[in-house]
């Protein structure tokens, strides 16, 4: 499904229109759970899928349908499924393609929630997994087993911002007839379109940039229409991971300003990354927009811009990182990202605390690593906050 107007325009206008009866421009909110039918035959046809329609709120409603259509359109996909959280999207996508006795291949530096699902819940379903270095095509191909039924990646990764070559990985997945699932949360469809690069499935935590205001939990899966139908009927519906209409409305509203917000997030991240890289108190900076990033050239080729997340290590390791975070005044300590506020967190003890220490180290998630989600504030105000925290840290070290 190709978009012909600019992405900035489509974020506002695509798949939505004024209400036919009232002329209202804002999307209506349909909270209904139950739906009436003129006769038993019609009800049966809707349940079996022989006739288009909604028969129970656990499988969606009109407000959610509008949002699903819009997300699918923005990702240039056939269909989308809106669910109750980013983790719901991730787990549904994996469970839809991988069943008991089968295997999933996963990029090594992955979101802590994804890691926990794969290491604790997936084995209870009889699903095996391997975390591998997906920057190497040879490593990926060698790790594929006869029962591998999906390859799962996120790019840029959380929290080390490793950029993976979606097009090349998709070629390998296609060669072995394995679906490639891409977590596109950090980029949003505004900055990256995995389906256009050959991926089969895209997942989002809409809690982050798609909504953009820190007041919604939601997730999305974009894939072929028949796959989304299977997920809706046989995974999401049965597990009860349905999105609600109010949150769908808030995301539809949030999408209208996604272009404006993403530009500011990216501009701030770019300014802060350059500031940190030149500061003597910083050990290392992870940001695809820096020429020092190992996949900088790939990022420029694959992504429209470099995103709003910067990860870095202060000199002094674990204790220094905690002291630095605690000294911040503008940036808020939080588990989320993509909000108007600048948010900071310590992956080793927060988002990735469920990952064993030896694995964190292997994945590049050191005890001194800090993840910064740049908000919409003035860049100089964020830099001033970082500066005063680094000055306090320097003072503590010298005394």
- Do residues 235 and 266 lie in contact, with contact meaning Cβ atoms separated by under 8 Å? no
Please give the backbone phi and psi of residue 122, each rounded to the nearest 5 degrees, phi first: -55, -40
Both tokens of residue 10? Answer: 């489509």
Say how far apart CA 211 and CA 336 lie, in whole Å: 12
According to DSSP, the residues that pair with 204 across neighbouring strands are 220
Residue with tokens 């910064």: 372
* Angle value at C-alpha 100, between 99 and 101, nearest 5 degrees: 110
How far is 348 from 179, CA to CA, in rounded Å? 31
Burial 167-179 (b: 16+ CB within 10 A, else e): ebbbebbeeeebb
Cβ of 33: how many Cβ atoms within 10 Å? Answer: 8
CA distance 279 to 274: 9
Q: Which residues are identified as catalytic?
A: 58, 111, 183, 208
Q: Name the CA dihedral angle for 237, 222, 186, 98, rounded to a multiple of 10 degrees.
A: 60
Start-to-end Cα distance in the chain: 62
| Cα separation, 104 vs 98, whole angstroms | 7
- 306: closest CA among 186, 152, 207, 189? 186
Pairwise CA distance, residues 245 & 100, whole Å: 33
Q: Find the length of the chain.
A: 399
**What is d(CA 34, CA 61) in angstroms, rounded to the nearest whole number?**
10
């Amino acid at each position: 499904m190709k978009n012909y107007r600019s992405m900035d325009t489509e974020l506002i206008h695509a798949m939505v229109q004024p209400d036919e009866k009232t002329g209202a421009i804002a999307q209506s909110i349909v909270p209904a759970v139950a739906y009436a039918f003129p006769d038993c035959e019609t009800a049966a046809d809707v349940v079996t899928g022989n006739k288009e329609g909604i028969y129970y709120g656990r499988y969606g409603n009109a407000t959610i349908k509008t949002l699903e259509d819009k997300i699918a359109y923005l990702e240039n996909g056939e269909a989308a499924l809106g669910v109750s959280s980013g983790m719901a999207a991730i787990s549904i996508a994996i469970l839809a393609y991988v069943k008991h006795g089968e295997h999933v291949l996963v990029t090594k530096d992955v979101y802590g929630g994804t890691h926990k699902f794969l290491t604790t819940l997936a084995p209870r379903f009889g699903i095996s997994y391997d975390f591998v270095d997906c920057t190497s095509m040879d490593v990926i191909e060698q790790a594929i087993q006869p029962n591998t039924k999906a390859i799962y990646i996120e790019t840029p990764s959380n929290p080390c911002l490793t950029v993976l070559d979606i097009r090349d990985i998709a070629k390998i997945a296609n060669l072995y007839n394995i679906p490639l699932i891409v977590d596109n949360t950090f980029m949003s469809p505004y900055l990256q379109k995995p389906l256009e690069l050959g991926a089969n499935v895209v997942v989002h935590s809409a809690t982050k940039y798609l909504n953009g205001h820190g007041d919604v939990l939601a997730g999305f899966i974009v894939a072929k229409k028949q796959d989304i139908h299977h997920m809706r009927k046989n995974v999401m519906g049965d597990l009860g991971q349905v999105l609600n209409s109010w949150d769908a409305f808030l995301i539809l509203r949030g999408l209208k300003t996604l272009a404006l917000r993403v530009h500011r997030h990216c501009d701030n991240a770019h300014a802060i990354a350059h500031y940190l890289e030149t500061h003597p108190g910083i050990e290392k900076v992870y940001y695809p927009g820096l020429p020092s990033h190992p996949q900088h050239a790939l990022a420029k080729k694959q992504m429209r811009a470099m995103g709003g997340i910067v990860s870095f290590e202060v000199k002094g390791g674990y204790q220094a990182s905690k002291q630095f975070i605690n000294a911040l005044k503008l940036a808020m300590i939080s588990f989320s990202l993509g909000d108007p506020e600048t948010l900071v967190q310590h992956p080793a003890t927060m988002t990735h605390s469920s990952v064993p220490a030896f694995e964190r180290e292997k994945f590049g998630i050191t005890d001194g690593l800090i993840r910064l989600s740049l908000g919409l504030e003035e860049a100089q105000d964020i830099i001033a906050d970082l500066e005063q925290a680094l000055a306090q840290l320097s003072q503590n070290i010298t005394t």
